[in-house]
A and B are shown apart, each in its own frame.
Chain A
Amino acid sequence: MRFAIKDLFTVLVIVVLAAAVFVASAWVLRASIAVLVLGSLGVVLASAQLLIDVFGAHAAGPKRTPVYELPAAEDPDVRATVRGAAEIWAWLFGIVAAIYVIGLPITLTAFVFLYVIAYHGSWRVGLLLSALIAAFIFGVYEEIMHVYWPESYLGGLLGWTW
C-alpha cells in the first residue's frame, strides 16, 4: 500500500462526484438523469483509479504520459519551483483583491508593470508592456466594445467612472 499526496486529488474527485450525484437525486428525472448516470460511473472509475494507485504494483520503467496531456516540465529544482508556484498564486490572489479595490483596468496595467520590475526586468520594458495593455484595454474594450467595468471600492468612494 502506498498513499501519495497526489492521491488526495483522486479522493477529492470521488467526493465531488458523489456529492453531485447526491444533489442531483433531489431533481426531477429529466434534469438529473445525466448527472446520476455519469456521476455514478465517475465515482466507480475514480475509485478504481485510487485502488490501482494505492494498492497496485508500481511498475518500473519509463513513465507513461497521458496522450491528452502536455508533457510535464522537467523541474531540476523542486523547492524553487514550489516557491515559484506560491509566488504566482500570491500574485493572482493579489490581482483579485486589487480588482475589488482599484478596478480591473488599473489593476491589470499595474500588475504587468510590477511583475516585470519584481523579477528584475527593466523599467523601460515594464512601462512599455503596461502601456500596451492599457492601450489594448482602452482601445478595444473601451472604444470599440464599450465595456461596462464593475465598480471598484475606491471608484465608488471617489466617484471614478470608466
Chain B
Amino acid sequence: MIEGTLHGLMAITAPVPLGFLCLGVILGVWGGALPGVGGPSQLAVLLPFAMLMAPVNAIAFLIGVTTVGNTGNTFTSVLVAVPGGSGSQATVLDGYPMARKGEARRALSAAFMVSMMGGIIGALVLFGSIPVLKQIVRLFGSPELFMFTLWGLSMIGVLSSGAPLKGLTAGIVGVLLSTIGQDVKSGVMRFDFNTPYLWDGISIVLISLSIFAMPEMIALASRKRRVADVTDLGTTGLLEGIKDGFRHWWLVIRCSVIGCWVGILPGLGSDVADWFAYAHARQTEKNSESFGTGDVRGVIAPESSNNAKEGGALLTTLAFGIPGSTSMALLLIAFVSVGLNPGPEMLKSQIQYVYIIIWALVLSQVLASVLCWAMVKPAARVCFLPFYVLVPIVIALTLLSAFAAHFAMADILAVLALSLLGYVMKLTGWPRAPVVLGFVLGQKVELYLWLSVARYDMDWIWRPGVLAIGLLVLTTLIWPVWTRWRRRGLTVAEVV
C-alpha cells in the first residue's frame, strides 16, 4: 500500500501531469469564480480534450477542474453575495456581512485555508475508507436517505431562531417551489400553468441567484453606496484568516466529515453539504448568536465541508462506479474513455490509478488555495468599488448565468420574478435562506419518501438506520429549544 502510494505521488508530480493539474486547477478556480460558468457545463466543454490524453494526464487535468470549483466560488459569495455555485450558498450568510465590515480578506483567506484542509481531509477519508466502504454504504437505502434529507429540513426551524414561524413557512415555500414541473412518480404536471418552460421545474441556479444575489444588488443600487461600510481594507486579514482555520480546527474536522459523508451518499451533493455544516456549526458552537452577522465560523463551516465532499463523492464513483452528481457522472465517462474501469474492479486491477487520483485531489486543493490566496488582495478591493461599477457588472453576469440554466428567455423572466420575491422577503424581514434549503431538499424528500413506501410499504420506519437518524432529527428540533429554555428561564410559549 505504501509502495503504491509513493508510486502514485511520483506519477502525478512528473512534469507533464503536474502541468495538466495546474491547468485544470486554474480553469476550475476560474469557472468557480464566474457564476454559471463552472461545474458540469465547464466540464462538459473540456471533456472531449481530456478524452484524448494519457490516463495519468487526464486524471490530473479532470481532478483539477472538478474538485476546486468550490474554492473559486467563494470569491463572489463573500464579495458580492452571489453564490458562485451551489456549494457556496451558506457561505454568503456570514461571508458577505464580513465583507461589509471590511473583513473580506480575512473571510476569503479563512475560506481558502479551510477549503484546503477540508479537501485534504476528504482525500484522507477516500484513502482510508476504501476497504470498509462497501458495507457502510449498503446500510443506506432510500428510507435512510429520506431521514437524512428530513434532518436537513429540520435545521430550518433550528436556525431561524430570530423568526422561527417565518423560517419554517419560507422553507415550505421552497419545498413547494421544488414541486413545480412534471412529477416523476405520477406524470402529473404540477403548477405548470400550461407553460412548457415549467415542465422541467425551476433550476436551483435561478433560485440561488434571485434569492441571494439580485436582492443584494438591488439593495446596493438603492442605497447607492459600496459593499463595504468601512473605508479601510485592513492589513492583517490574510494572516488572520489563516490563523482562523487553525484556531477552529475542531470545527473544520467536524464539518469536513459531514461534507465527506454527504458526498458519499449518492444524490445529495455539495448544495446540501454546506447547509448541513453551517447548521451543525450554528447548533454546536458557543456564542452562536453572532452567526449571520459576519462570524468567521459561519464561513469556515460550509467551506470546509464543500471541498471535503469531493473526496466522498469520488469514493462512490471509484469504488462502485456510482456517480453522486452530474460532475461525477461526466468524470466517470471521461475515466472510462481513457481506459479506466471505475467500480469494484478498479480497486483490484487498477489500484495504482486510485492512488494517483487521491494525490491529484490533495495537490489540486493545495494549488487552488495558493492560487486563490494570491488573488485575495486584488479581489477584496471589489468591496470598495463604487456601486455604479459593481451593480451593472454583477447584474449582467447574473442574468447571463440565469440564461445559462436553460438557454431560454424565460430564464431571465423567472429570475426577475423570483428576485422580486427575494427582495420583498428582504424588505419585510422574512429569512430567505430557508427558501433555498427547502428547494434543495424538497425534491429529494419527496422522491426518497416515495421510494421507501413503494419498496418497503410502511415497514421502513422500523429500520435501525431510520430510527437512529430520526433520533437525530428530534434532537436537532428539541435541543435549541431546551438550551434556550434552560439558559434564559423562558416559558415554552415564549421560546416558540
Structural contact, A27 and B293, CB atoms closer than 8 A:
no
Across-interface contacts of B162 in A (CB, < 8 A): 64-67, 69
Structural contact, B165 and A115, CB atoms closer than 8 A:
no
Structural contact, B172 and A17, CB atoms closer than 8 A:
yes
B139 within 8 A of A: no
Structural contact, B221 and A87, CB atoms closer than 8 A:
yes
Select from chain B the residue with minimum beta-carbon distance to A108: B396
Q: How far is the CA of A16 from the CA of B459 in the complex (A)?
A: 35
B360 within 8 A of A: no
Structural contact, A41 and B172, CB atoms closer than 8 A:
yes
A residues lining the B interface (CB < 8 Å) = 6, 9-10, 13, 16-17, 20, 23-24, 27-28, 30-32, 34-35, 38-39, 41-42, 45-46, 48-49, 52, 64-73, 75, 80-82, 84-85, 87-89, 91-93, 95-96, 99-100, 104, 108, 111-112, 115-116, 118-121, 125, 129, 132-133, 136-137, 140-141, 144-145, 147-148, 150
**Interface flags, B136-160, vs A, CB<8A=1, else 0:** 0000000000000000000010011
B interface, by DSSP: helix, strand, loop or mixed? helix
User: Which of A35, A66, A70, A82 lies in contact with B96, CB distance below 8 A?
Assistant: A70
How many residues on the B side are at the interface (Cβ–Cβ under 8 A)? 81
Across-interface contacts of B93 in A (CB, < 8 A): 68-70
Q: How far is the CA of A99 from the CA of B493 in the complex (A)?
A: 52
B residues lining the A interface (CB < 8 Å) = 34, 37, 41, 45, 81, 92-93, 96-97, 156, 159-163, 165-169, 172-173, 175-176, 179, 183, 185-186, 188, 190-191, 216-219, 221-224, 282, 291-294, 386-389, 391-393, 395-397, 399-400, 403-404, 407-409, 412-413, 416, 419, 424-434, 442, 445-446, 449-450
Given A16-B173, A95-B395, 4 additional A-B pairs, CB 8 A: A32-B188, A38-B172, A66-B431, A108-B400
**Cross-chain pairs A/B with CB under 8 angstroms, 5 sampled:** A10-B428, A38-B172, A121-B386, A121-B389, A144-B45
Select from chain A the residue with minimum beta-carbon distance to B184: A31
Structural contact, A9 and B169, CB atoms closer than 8 A:
no
Structural contact, B389 and A31, CB atoms closer than 8 A:
no
Select from chain B the residue with minimum beta-carbon distance to A27: B188
